[in-house]
Amino acid sequence: MKYRLLACLALAGASASGAAVASTCAGTLVAERKIASYSPDGPYVPSLGTLRIYRQASGTGARYCAMTVHSNRTWGERLHTGVFIRRCWQSERIQGRCPGPGQIVQDQGDYAYYAGPVSLQVSRNQCFSAQGWVMHPNAPADRAYRWAGVDHCVR
């Protein structure tokens, strides 16, 4: 499925910001977090990608879907890219964070366009955490993985 979608994107000339990539998760886009690049030379930090979270209403909760999409800067470049979504073991965030461990669904590998989608059913009064990352190709080893995250509770 992933390769079929990518072939369609290549034929259409779509970029990482195109709607075709976003359509791999059902539902409404509810959060986007930029994955900033490592920059040793100053405040300008170009994006390596974006963590996107989608919500699709379902019974007494919702299905949340996450994916990490490469930015135009890294589009087509095979980099270690990943995404996970995890149900938290408590129904409230503690100090703004989602406590774990809990059920986790993830996808990671050397991808040129995106990782995911991964999805999880979350009931009312439950919290989840999602994280996306892209390995920066030129950063020092201790700063190579750049990530963005979201913690959210369903009410």
Report whether 79 contacts 133 (CB < 8 A): no
Give, as one character, the DSSP assignment of residue 112: S
**Domain range holding 149?**
2-153
Answer yes or no: is pLDDT of 68 > 90: yes
Positions of E strands within 1-154: 28-36, 47-58, 61-70, 79-87, 104-111, 114-123, 127-135, 145-153
Q: How many domains does the chain have?
A: 1
- Segment 17-46 shows an average pLDDT of 70
Q: What is the pLDDT of residues 120-151, one digit of tens each?
A: 998 888 888 899 999 877 766 666 667 788 87
CA distance 14 to 121: 30
Q: What is the pLDDT of residues 71-102, one digit of tens each?
A: 998 899 999 999 999 988 666 555 566 766 67
The larger pLDDT score, comparing residue 30 to residue 101, is at 30
Cβ contacts of residue 154 below 8 Å, gap of 6+? Answer: 61, 62, 122, 123, 124, 125, 126, 127, 128
Answer yes or no: is pLDDT of 8 > 60: no
